[in-house]
Amino acid sequence: MKPSNKGRKSAVAAIKVQDGWMTVETTVNGARQSWKIRPDDFLLDALRREGFKGAKKGCETGDCGSCAVLLDGKAVASCLLLAAQSQDREITTIEGLGTPSEPHPLQEAFVDTGGIQCGFCIPGMILSAKALLDRTPSPTEAEIRRALDGVLCRCTGYVKQVQAVKLAAERKK
Amino acid sequence: MGWIGKSVKRSDAKSKVMGAALYIDDYGYEGMLHAATVRSPYPRARIKKIDFSQAQKVPGFVRGITAKDVPGKNLWPLVMHDYPFLAEREAKFAGEAVALVAAESLQAARDAAAATRLLLEELPCVTDPLQALKKSAPRVYGRDNVFARYVVKKGDVAKGFEEADAVAEGIFTTGYQMQAYLETQGMIAFPESHGGVTLYGSMQCPYYVHDAVAAALGIAYNKVRVVQRSTGGGFGGKEDMPALVGTHAALAAVLTGRPVKLIYDRREDFISMSRRHPSWTQLRYGAKRDGALTACQAKFILDAGAYATLSPIVLWRGTVHAAGPYRIPHVLIESCAAATHKAPCGAFRGFGQPQSAFAHESLIDELALKLDMDPLDFRLKNALRVGDETATGQKLGESCGMVDALEEVRDASDWKKKRADYPAWKSGGARRRGIGVAANYYGVSLGARGRYLDRAAAQVQIQPDGTVMVAIGNTEIGQGARTVISQIAAESLNAPYEHIQVLETDTSRVPDSGPTVASRTTLMSGNAVLNACEPLRRRIFETAQEMLKKKGGAETPMSASDGKFSVAAAEVGFAEVARECYLRKLKMAEQGWYSAPPTSFDTETGQGDAYVTYAYSANVAEVEVDAETGETKVTKVTSAHDIGKVINPNAAEGQIEGGIVQALGYAFIEEIIEREGQVVNPNFTDYILPASADAPEFKTILLEHPYPAGPYGAKGLAESPIIGPAPAALNALRHACGVRLSHIPAMPEAIWKAVKHGDQKKQ
Ligand code: FES
Ligand code: FES
């Protein structure tokens, strides 16, 4: 889940720094955002500061996946990306996935299979699963496990989460 | 039964999938400061001076705090009362908290902590527990570096070995394991105008936090309030430790007069918080030719680290279970917890039992092989049954599913066939297959050693609209406590499950209910809730009956299910009845209480009733080993668990699956590398946790041998599943490759070496 930056250098380079602050323009869950940030702010911290608390901080070293968000549809560890790297890109956080009355099929499926215990890994899990299903609507079990591999869950033993992704894929058909 | 035994959806699932559940780091207050901790870098050091002069220059610095600033007593009131909240003269492990800083931002707090200068004198230290027990060792604790010693003595062990036809013996060791909850430790303290403080945070045991904060601040209990927030995993790591974190936050809040947030980063969580004790066990079993065990003798040593924390109790649990779930006439177990200059070990799911079970289940296998018996049959022959006595001489009067569990896993795993077939199994090259078994029991709740804490309170309030608020003193840490408690309340009141709301645990709502540990919540809080529901149920049922009478349904007895009450064609719903109760001015709130029955236990001999009841588990693990690399994959775990009445099968399965994966991490991949008292790998990059690809296939069997004193017959579950899988997997490795690994984690290199060595010996 390491961030990729291909072809994005120019957008980032165009941001001006003034008195140690810079402004990034990005899109989060479909809404345009303009953030005043420090050049060394990480995306995870910026998101959390702006109220997207669903992105969790489990390690800050890119190992646990609790901070996973979608960047242009791909699951990335937001604790390893600089906030500036989100310039002109589209971010999806767990808050953007569904509403309580109309949850995303993945959110429903996680509830139905019981793939939730403490819940700390769940936003990252669901977003990683979404990146997979958007790409591969009918994944095999091995593909699901690979897609979830970047997100650690200390509680569940993973089966019910894998089942949830399968169930969501079936329901979407 | 309507709600009991049903896999209802978790009450907190929705908020968690929406990302709406708030954990402590998701909260903030106006004017809130951030705190950071200054830690000793040495395993042992004399503290000469703490100098904040450079820290003060960090923009946003507010104040520094040392032991001198602790207004109350600088000693944590936990078990042995030996751990200072902030080290004063001597710091006893690398990572121990020496000072705190509070600042306007997290970054400023961390910068100020880094800029705080400690003038320390390094002192000689001891980091090996066996060395620590020697007379010449540097002092960590007391006169002999021993936090606790226990003996369990039953019969005459020398006679038992005389009677034996076969004897097996060995030394087994286990390493550290981190709880590795995904959410690190964290607390927010809010200073109150009455001079007290309210704490919010991630925790298992709010009452421990309450005790510690009151002691450190030197204030009355009624000025402290502790509220649990959504907690991102605990597994024992948030049993006692949040009391330390919370006290630090509270000190900073009271001394600055502002709210203070203290969140650990992963590294400091790794170096300073509790972890599973490394262990050393010397064990001997004797048996007759027909397989009947005659004797068990064990020396069991835990490496406790620099402060006692919960070590005496962890050791006790490990000790009383150390002979295994077997009928053995002669037993002698001696144990001790040794103090070393390392981070204190403490509570971790299983609580001393994964260590002693690794030894007993490995050696039982060896003895079976010596006797030329199938290891599963050998266990079955000796397994505890109703009417038998445990190693502590406790007679099992009821609810004992050990035999049942073993038979179930034998049949469900196709044990006999695989045990016979796997040795010949070959797949291109060096891969080998094996199947192994392990049995364990688990004393539910605190038992004789923690009997003063074994009580629980509850409050149940029925609202005028028919919804119900339930407050308990135990916490939801992911295990599903709120869901199970909701089911119990719904069942008792005949309320719809969806109408029950179990509130965040708050020490001002219900009196001290002891800790959320030892798989005790369903049993203890469940019974307390039932106790509170009892009079409410009476009022609800009587009112419903009278309402139905008016509706003309007088003759036949009333039936109550699914939140509805009916007589013949007449029907009323729970909400209508609740409203009617209010109109009749009935009391719709009650307190409940439950305390565990007294236990009789003699600490001199270690004989007596150790626990009120036991859960029983059997695990069969199948492995595939690559003999050329040592890489071992656990492909399937079949397990059966007698946990009494199962309240929620889906949640129970979740506990079991999660416990098994943690156990396999313990067996094969999770390794703290410690050199001279320093943790070398304090992060998830180098301390590897099982990921989704590492999880085996599960076959999970739930067995119900009801415990009459439990709520609807329930016992407890959370910990039993983590005890057996590690030895079962190592026994499978033994079956696959013919070698006995006597240390866990068994890393690929060790497996590879052992297999190579074993193969050479065969040739
Ligand atoms: S917090 Fe980003 S991967 Fe762990
Ligand atoms: S549910 Fe707790 S970490 Fe996944």
A45 inside domain: yes
CA-nearest of B5, B6, B12, B7 to B500 is: B12
Last residue of a domain, one of A96, A129, A159: A96
A146 inside domain: yes
Last residue of a domain, one of A96, A120, A136: A96
Amino acid letter for position A151: V
Residue A11 has pLDDT above 80, yes or no: no
Q: What is the mean pLDDT of residues B335-360?
A: 98
As given in the structure block, the two tokens for residue B625 are 């080993």
CA-nearest of B483, B526, B515 to B502 is: B483
CATH assignment of the domain containing A110 = 1.10.150.120
Residue A44 has pLDDT above 90, yes or no: yes
The rounded distance, in Å, linking the Cα atoms of B542 and B163 is 65
pLDDT of residue B551: 86
Q: Are the beta carbons of A159 and B657 separated by less than 8 Å?
A: yes
Q: What is the mean pLDDT of residues B367-377?
A: 98
Question: A46 and A90 share a domain?
Answer: yes
pLDDT of residue B261: 98
Domain extent for A30 = 15-96
CA dist list (Å): B552 to A57, B278, B555, B571: 61, 69, 9, 10
Question: A145 and A121 share a domain?
Answer: yes
From chain A, pick out residues whose CB is under 8 angstroms from the CB of B718.
Answer: none
pLDDT of residue B762: 74
The answer to whether the CB of B710 falls within 8 A of the CB of B526 is: yes
Please, which pLDDT band fits residue B595 given cuts at 50, 70 and 90? very high
Question: A136 and A86 share a domain?
Answer: no
Q: Are the beta carbons of A160 and B653 separated by less than 8 Å?
A: yes
- Closest Cβ opposite residue B183 in set A58, A123, A150: A58
Please give the distance, rounded to the nearest whole angstrom, from the Cα atom of residue B529 to the centre of ligand 2. Answer: 27
Question: A38 and A111 share a domain?
Answer: no
Last residue of a domain, one of A96, A114, A142: A96
Q: Is A155 in the pocket of ligand 2 (CB under 6 A)?
A: yes
Q: How does the average pLDDT of chain A come out, rounded?
A: 93
Would an 8 Å CB–CB cutoff place B704 in contact with chain A? no
Q: CA of A100: which chain B residue's CA is closest?
A: B18
A1 inside domain: no
Q: Report helix, strand or coil for B590.
A: strand
Q: Are the beta carbons of B231 and A58 separated by less than 8 Å?
A: no
The rounded distance, in Å, linking the Cα atoms of B663 and B673 is 18
Q: Is the peptide bond before B344 cis (omega within 30 degrees of 0)?
A: no
pLDDT of residue A8: 56
Angle B521-550/B574-583 helices, nearest 10 degrees? Answer: 80
Residue B517 has pLDDT above 90, yes or no: no
Read off φ and ψ for residue B41, nearest 5 degrees: -85, -10
From chain A, pick out residues whose CB is under 8 angstroms from the CB of B18.
Answer: 54, 94-95, 97-100, 103, 107
As given in the structure block, the two tokens for residue A52 are 């997207």
A124 inside domain: yes
Which atom of ligand 1 is found nearest the CA of A80?
Answer: 2
Query: Using one digit for the tens of pLDDT, what is the confidence trace for B170-215?
Result: 999 999 999 999 999 999 999 999 999 999 999 999 999 999 999 9
Question: A120 and A141 share a domain?
Answer: yes
The answer to whether the CB of B103 falls within 8 A of the CB of B62 is: yes
Question: A75 and A112 share a domain?
Answer: no
Q: Are the beta carbons of A119 and B477 separated by less than 8 Å?
A: no
Kindly state the helix (H) or strand (E) to which residue B593 belongs, with its residue range.
strand B589-595
Residue B236 has pLDDT above 90, yes or no: yes
CB atoms within 10 A of CB B763: 4
Question: A22 and A90 share a domain?
Answer: yes
Rg (CA), chain A: 16
CA-nearest of B471, B449, B438 to B724 is: B438
Query: Using one digit for the tens of pLDDT, what is the confidence trace for B69-113?
Result: 999 999 999 999 999 999 999 999 999 999 999 999 999 999 999
A166 inside domain: yes
Its sign, for the CA torsion B497, B498, B503, B509, is: negative
CATH 3.30.365.10 boundaries in chain B: 279-383+392-448+603-762, 455-595
The DSSP-derived string for B327-345 is --SEEEEEEEEEE-SSPPP
Class of the CATH domain delimited by B279-383+392-448+603-762: alpha beta
- Closest Cβ opposite residue A117 in set B179, B478, B685: B478
Q: CA of B11: which chain A residue's CA is closest?
A: A111
CA-nearest of A62, A70, A16, A17 to A42 is: A62
Strands A21-28 and A17-18: antiparallel
The rounded distance, in Å, linking the Cα atoms of B745 and B266 is 22
Please, which pLDDT band fits residue B428 given cuts at 50, 70 and 90? low
Taking CA B752 as the corner, what is the angle to CA B747 and CA B758, rounded to the nearest 5 degrees? 125
As given in the structure block, the two tokens for residue B481 are 């406590």
Which atom of ligand 1 is found nearest the CA of A150?
Answer: 3
CA-nearest of B147, B106, B111 to B129 is: B147
Please, which pLDDT band fits residue B430 given cuts at 50, 70 and 90? confident
Q: Is A154 in the pocket of ligand 2 (CB under 6 A)?
A: yes
Residue A10 has pLDDT above 70, yes or no: no
Question: A74 and A133 share a domain?
Answer: no
The rounded distance, in Å, linking the Cα atoms of B159 and B328 is 12
A137 inside domain: yes
pLDDT of residue A172: 86
Q: How does the average pLDDT of chain B come out, rounded?
A: 96
Q: Is A8 in the pocket of ligand 1 (CB under 6 A)?
A: no
Q: Is A58 in the pocket of ligand 2 (CB under 6 A)?
A: no
Q: Are the beta carbons of A153 and B692 separated by less than 8 Å?
A: yes
Read off φ and ψ for residue B161, nearest 5 degrees: -75, -30
Count of structural domains within chain A: 2
Class of the CATH domain delimited by B24-123+179-272: alpha beta
User: DSSP secondary-structure letter at B715?
Assistant: -
Please give the distance, rounded to the nearest whole angstrom, from the Cα atom of residue A124 to the centre of ligand 1. Answer: 9
Would an 8 Å CB–CB cutoff place B266 in contact with chain A? yes
A2 inside domain: no
Question: A109 and A91 share a domain?
Answer: no
Q: Are the beta carbons of B233 and A155 separated by less than 8 Å?
A: yes
Question: A92 and A109 share a domain?
Answer: no
Phi/psi zone of residue B631: left (φ > 0), alpha (ψ -120 to 50 degrees), beta? Answer: beta
- Closest Cβ opposite residue A118 in set B25, B184, B232: B232
The answer to whether the CB of B359 falls within 8 A of the CB of B319 is: no
Please give the distance, rounded to the nearest whole angstrom, from the Cα atom of residue A5 to the centre of ligand 2. Answer: 30
The answer to whether the CB of B237 falls within 8 A of the CB of B231 is: no
Residues whose CB falls within 8 Å of the CB of residue B535, separated by 6 or more in sequence, listed in order: B587, B590
Question: A19 and A92 share a domain?
Answer: yes
Q: Is B233 in the pocket of ligand 2 (CB under 6 A)?
A: yes
Query: Using one digit for the tens of pLDDT, what is the confidence trace for B266-283?
Result: 999 999 999 999 999 999
Q: Are the beta carbons of B13 and A154 separated by less than 8 Å?
A: no
Chain B nearest CA to A12, separation (Å): 24
Look at the domain B455-595 and name its fold. Aldehyde Oxidoreductase; domain 4 (3.30.365)
A7 inside domain: no
As given in the structure block, the two tokens for residue B372 are 């030329």
Query: Using one digit for the tens of pLDDT, what is the confidence trace for B125-139?
Result: 999 999 999 999 999
Please, which pLDDT band fits residue B659 given cuts at 50, 70 and 90? very high
pLDDT of residue B1: 59
User: DSSP secondary-structure letter at B140?
Assistant: S
Residue A4 has pLDDT above 60, yes or no: no
From chain B, pick out residues whose CB is under 8 angstroms from the CB of A53.
Answer: 19, 22, 26
Q: Whose CA is nearest to atom 2 of ligand 2?
A: A118
Please give the distance, rounded to the nearest whole angstrom, from the Cα atom of residue B530 to the centre of ligand 2. Answer: 29
CA-nearest of B509, B515, B507 to B474 is: B515
As given in the structure block, the two tokens for residue B144 are 């002999």
Burial class (CB in 10 A: 0-12, 13-18, 19+), B74: buried
For residue B154, list its beta bridge partners.
Answer: B331
Q: What is the mean pLDDT of residues B620-633?
A: 96
CB atoms within 10 A of CB B338: 28
Q: Which of A118, A120, A141, A145 is best to mutate for the B interface (most B CBs within 10 A)?
A: A118
Would an 8 Å CB–CB cutoff place B284 in contact with chain A? no
Residue B603 has pLDDT above 80, yes or no: yes
Sheet holding B293-305, edge to edge: B146-154, B330-339, B293-305, B279-287, B166-174, B743-744
Residue B748 has pLDDT above 60, yes or no: yes
pLDDT of residue B427: 67
Q: Is A76 in the pocket of ligand 1 (CB under 6 A)?
A: no
Share of chain B above pLDDT 70, in %: 99
As given in the structure block, the two tokens for residue B477 are 């840490």
CATH 3.90.1170.50 boundaries in chain B: 24-123+179-272
Would an 8 Å CB–CB cutoff place B653 in contact with chain A? yes
Please give the distance, rounded to the nearest whole angstrom, from the Cα atom of residue A154 to the centre of ligand 2. Answer: 5
Q: Are the beta carbons of B230 and A119 separated by less than 8 Å?
A: yes
pLDDT of residue B548: 93
The rounded distance, in Å, linking the Cα atoms of B73 and B87 is 12
Q: Is B696 in the pocket of ligand 2 (CB under 6 A)?
A: no
